[in-house]
């Protein structure tokens, strides 16, 4: 897994700036007469939320203008209120105008993921973990999973190499019990999760030595029974179109983890603005 460090942040922000500036740069800002004049700008919250992505925001300004002084007023993971100042930026006018949208895009999106995750976490309490999935924006998975952790969530496997996860389409192509048996023989220290969508499927693999049962799109009644059958032997997880309205009832079944794709693929950006 790619680590969230300065080298990675530099790489991903540079790619984002290239997307915005190639081939001719910011042709509009070039029209501004005093664009080398140093000015001050503030990044301000327009709503409450959990802030995430400050280092990505800072890096965007720094890569555009080395003269930039970036003063964060909060830390990643902090709760922010409407009208709070997130950061102050001291730089040339052209630096701020060129970097503004890229910087805010990272901050808006990562804060949105952290905030939505936190909303789910608050619904279920401490006994149940809220997990992200691989339903992430391509090439932004590291940032999104980082934001999930800031919101109090738990990271699921990062990619297909991390863990055996036997899902419905694997099962449709083979026999469930034989797939689990093969995974056990080849696990080499990796965890094994098995998805089931019925109690009969669960009963067919009971007794095999794997780690987690993933109950997919099951009714609350069936889920509660499935957890009761398996919780002495396996970690339990639920998934399948789980929303803020339904997550509390899912957690009430006693399931250990709930995986929620929407916290990454459908998180609404936190509304922030830059004021000069």
Q: Point out the residues that are catalytic.
A: 101, 135, 167, 195, 216
CA 255 vs CA 124, 240, 263: distances in Å: 11, 14, 19
26 within 8 A of 32, measured Cβ to Cβ: no
Beta-bridged to residue 214, according to DSSP, are: 195, 237
Strand extents, DSSP E, 68-139 = 69-72, 79-80, 85-92, 129-131
Burial of 213 (0-12, 13-18, 19+ CB in 10 A): buried
Whether cis (ω within 30° of 0) applies to the bond prior to 23 is yes
Nearest-5° angle of CA 95, CA 38, CA 74?
70
Phi, psi of 126, rounded to the nearest 5 degrees? -85, -20
Bridge-based pairing of strands 257-259 and 129-131 is: parallel
CA 98 vs CA 44, 57, 109: distances in Å: 18, 13, 19
């Amino acid at each position: 897994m790619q680590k969230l460090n300065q080298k990675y942040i530099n790489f991903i922000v540079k790619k984002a700036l290239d997307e915005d500036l190639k081939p001719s740069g910011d042709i509009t800002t070039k029209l501004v007469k005093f664009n080398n004049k140093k000015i001050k700008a503030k990044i301000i919250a327009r709503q409450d939320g959990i802030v995430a992505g400050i280092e990505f925001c800072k890096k965007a300004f720094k890569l555009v203008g080395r003269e930039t002084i970036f003063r964060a007023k909060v830390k990643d993971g902090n709760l922010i209120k409407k009208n709070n100042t997130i950061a102050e930026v001291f730089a040339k006018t052209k630096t701020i105008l060129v970097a503004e949208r890229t910087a805010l895009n990272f901050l808006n999106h990562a804060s949105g993921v952290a905030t939505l995750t936190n909303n789910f976490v608050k619904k279920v309490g401490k006994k149940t973990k809220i997990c992200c999935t691989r339903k992430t924006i391509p090439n932004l998975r590291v940032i999104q999973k980082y934001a999930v952790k800031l919101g109090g969530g738990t990271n699921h496997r990062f990619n297909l190499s991390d863990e055996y996860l036997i899902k419905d389409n694997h099962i449709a192509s083979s026999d469930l019990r034989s797939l689990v048996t093969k995974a056990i023989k080849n696990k080499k220290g990796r965890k094994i999760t098995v998805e089931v969508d019925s109690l009969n499927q669960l009963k067919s693999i009971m007794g095999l030595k794997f780690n987690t049962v993933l109950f997919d799109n099951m009714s609350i009644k069936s889920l509660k029974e499935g957890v009761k059958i398996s919780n002495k032997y396996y970690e339990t997880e639920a998934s399948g179109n789980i929303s803020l309205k339904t997550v509390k009832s899912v957690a009430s079944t006693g399931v250990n983890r709930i995986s929620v794709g929407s916290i990454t693929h459908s998180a609404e950006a936190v509304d922030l603005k830059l004021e000069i």
